[in-house]
Amino acid sequence: MLLGHDDGYFRDKNMRVTVVYNHFGPNCNQRMPRIRYGYAHVVNNLYREWSQYAIGGGSMNPSVKSEANLFIAPKSRNNKEITWRKDSIGNKESWKFYSVGDIFENRASFIRATPPICS
């Protein structure tokens, strides 16, 4: 689930998307979703045993609010990180990821690189 046309499509800066009530996995690889631009509210989803990452923050400074999701990390893999960050604007911490009331199992975790966003 890729949200955003491409890095050069600036109209996506105003994109606001809600991803709700999905069951991802087991054996999903990535992009659940991946956000290039704008704001995504990811709420009440079940994530099971991803390969690379569950939520990808994109190349053009997106904001993600993860709320009330259940993240069950893969038992047999070392990858417990939920997020992935791509940097094409020169700042690895240019996107914002905020977790509210998420549940993390099997040592699932995310790296909080920036302060919470308001919405």
Respond yes or no: is residue 107 known to be catalytic: no
Kindly list the distances between the CA atom of residue 9 and the CA atoms of 6, 22, 58, 99, in Å, as whole numbers in the listed order: 5, 27, 13, 27
What phi, psi does 107 have (nearest 5°)?
Answer: 65, 25
Catalytic residue among 16, 31, 85, 107: 31
Q: Note the helical H segments in 1-119.
A: none
Which residues are the active-site residues? 31
